[in-house]
Amino acid sequence: MDNPFNLNNLLRENIKKLVPYSSARDEFKGEASILIDANENPFGSPLNHDYNRYPDPLQHQVKAKLSNIKGVPAENIFLGNGSDEAIDILYRAFCTPGVDNVILVPPTYGMYEVSANINDVAFKKVNLTADYQLDLDGIANAIDAHTKLIFICSPNNPTGNSIRRQDIETVLNNFQGLVVVDEAYINFSAVKSFTQELAEYPNLVVLQTLSKAWGLAALRLGMAFASKEIIAVYNKIKPPYNINQATQDIVLEALNNVDQVNDWIKETVSEREKLVRELLELDYVQYITPSDANFILVKMEQPREVYDYLVQYGIIVRDRSKVELCEGCLRITVGTPAENRTLLEKLNQIN
Ligand code: PMP
């Protein structure tokens, strides 16, 4: 790549000087039998686990397993308390409040903007085009000397479509800051993940999560995949024990169930296509964006009325009808076959 990207130039001054937190236990290499270094309870925990001990700060076992599943070396993986933590840390590492800025491409996932606001970082919005693809000229024009991050969500939330690979590559090749490709919904698409391109692009950060296809939203485990230099930055900033032991234990076990997850993915994709076909039969449904995710964005007449009608039956969808470029749209997550049947039954009764 010809991009003169330089990670050190991108970092905030205070972060350059930071040394990663290290506990006495991390520094000790031998076999210890008496652990009296961390002010823990030596007797045990009230549960049948050794939860009295602090967890592995770098989650070696979980990363080893994820490395296998994802085909990415463990040294290129950061684990966060949800991908939301992986997003927030990027702001704190690279964006000086009141000085730097980031580029967002709405309509997209709301947390990029929330995190910008929390960190007092300015954002420039370059709307997606009418077919929900990147406006490459708009992005090129918005970039200035203080632009540190660009967030691209693909498949995109709330529209569901994937962003053209070639366009993401154009941004990666031309932008000297970090390009964050959020692949929270990648398991539901046939598109190749950018995790296999880390060697090619030193300015690439790929986000994924166990909250969607893996069915582990409550555990809060997000992943960032990037060069080992970027992962080192993550490790300098994260709270030392950001992934608790219960999560590490349960995730290790859950990761043995790839087949179950793949079955769910297949069923979700087939239910998604069925839902699309049947919704398009309704005369008040105008358009459904082709989706690579586990939800669909449905444009219809009187979306708010439909939303309120569904609430009466205890069915909650997401009203996106006031969001720019999503006017008239409800975002509907693909449910179980029974849930989708009930939804369609109720929607068919509207006249
Ligand atoms: N990215 C996208 C695009 C999302 O839609 C979500 C959750 N709605 C997240 C990230 C956050 O995932 P996590 O549960 O890992 O914080």
CATH assignment of the domain containing 328? 3.90.1150.10
- Measured distance CA(183)–CA(214) in Å, rounded: 13
Q: What's 24's domain CATH number?
A: 3.40.640.10
Q: How many CB atoms sit inside 10 A of residue 181's CB?
A: 26
Give the residue carrying structure tokens 């370059």: 126
Instruction: Note the pLDDT of residue 351.
Output: 67
**Residue 286 and residue 157 share a domain:** no
**Residue 334 and residue 189 share a domain:** no
Q: CB–CB of 223/77 below 8 Å?
A: yes
Task: Quote the pTM value.
Answer: 0.97
Question: How high is the ipTM of this complex?
Answer: 0.97
Distance from the alpha carbon of residue 131 to the mean position of ligand 1, in angstroms: 23
Residue 250 in domain? yes
Instruction: Decide which of 241, 256, 271 is a domain's last residue.
Output: 256
Ligand 1 atom nearest residue 87's Cα: 10
Alpha-carbon Rg for the chain, nearest whole angstrom, is: 22
Residue 1 in domain? no
Residue 241 in domain? yes
Distance from the alpha carbon of residue 165 to the mean position of ligand 1, in angstroms: 20
State how many domains the chain has: 2
User: Could you tell me whether strands 101-104 and 122-125 are parallel, antiparallel, or unpaired per DSSP bridges?
Assistant: parallel
DSSP code per residue over 32-93: -S---SS---SS--SSSS-TTSPP-TT-HHHHHHHHHHHT--GGGEEEESSHHHHHHHHHHH
- Measured distance CA(226)–CA(78) in Å, rounded: 8
Q: How many CB atoms sit inside 10 A of residue 260's CB?
A: 12
Instruction: Note the pLDDT of residue 205.
Output: 98
**Residue 312 and residue 278 share a domain:** yes
**Residue 141 and residue 25 share a domain:** yes
Residue 42 in domain? yes
Residue 73 in domain? yes
Position 242: which residue type? N
Distance from the alpha carbon of residue 205 to the mean position of ligand 1, in angstroms: 15
* Domain span holding position 315: 259-349
Ligand 1 atom nearest residue 153's Cα: 3
Q: Answer yes or no: is the C-beta of 268 below 6 A from any ligand 1 atom.
A: no
**Residue 275 and residue 234 share a domain:** no
Distance from the alpha carbon of residue 185 to the mean position of ligand 1, in angstroms: 9
Residue 52 in domain? yes
- Measured distance CA(159)–CA(115) in Å, rounded: 21
Give the residue carrying structure tokens 């690439």: 204
Instruction: Note the pLDDT of residue 19.
Output: 86
**Residue 141 and residue 51 share a domain:** yes
Among protein residues, the one with the nearest Cα to ligand 1's atom 8 is 109
330 phi/psi in degrees, rounded to 5: -110, 140
Exposed (0-12), middle (13-18) or buried (19+): which is 139, by Cβ within 10 Å?
buried
**Residue 313 and residue 288 share a domain:** yes
**Residue 87 and residue 209 share a domain:** yes
Instruction: Decide which of 256, 274, 292 is a domain's last residue.
Output: 256
Q: CB–CB of 185/163 below 8 Å?
A: no
**Residue 306 and residue 329 share a domain:** yes
Q: Answer yes or no: is the C-beta of 109 below 6 A from any ligand 1 atom.
A: yes
Please give the structure tokens belonging to residue 308: 């309120």
Distance from the alpha carbon of residue 221 to the mean position of ligand 1, in angstroms: 10
Instruction: Decide which of 222, 256, 290 is a domain's last residue.
Output: 256
Instruction: Note the pLDDT of residue 2.
Output: 80
20 prior amide bond cis, ω within 30: no
Among protein residues, the one with the nearest Cα to ligand 1's atom 12 is 83
276 phi/psi in degrees, rounded to 5: -60, -50
Position 280: which residue type? L
Those residues with Cβ within 8 angstroms of residue 6's Cβ, 6 or more apart along the chain or in another chain: 176
pLDDT in tens, the chain (351 residues): 689 999 999 999 999 999 887 777 777 777 778 999 899 999 999 998 999 999 999 999 999 999 999 999 999 999 999 999 999 999 999 999 999 999 999 999 999 999 999 999 999 999 999 999 999 999 999 999 999 999 999 999 999 999 999 999 999 999 999 999 999 999 999 999 999 999 999 999 999 999 999 999 999 999 999 999 999 999 999 999 999 999 999 999 999 999 999 999 999 999 999 999 999 999 999 999 999 999 999 999 999 999 999 999 999 999 999 999 999 999 999 999 999 999 999 999 996
Instruction: Note the pLDDT of residue 1.
Output: 60
**Residue 302 and residue 193 share a domain:** no
- Measured distance CA(162)–CA(290) in Å, rounded: 9
**Residue 242 and residue 203 share a domain:** yes
Q: Answer yes or no: is the C-beta of 79 below 6 A from any ligand 1 atom.
A: no
Q: In what order do the strands lie in the sheet with 77-80?
A: 77-80, 222-225, 204-209, 178-182, 147-153, 101-104, 122-125
Q: Answer yes or no: is the C-beta of 84 below 6 A from any ligand 1 atom.
A: yes
**Residue 303 and residue 243 share a domain:** no
Distance from the alpha carbon of residue 212 to the mean position of ligand 1, in angstroms: 8
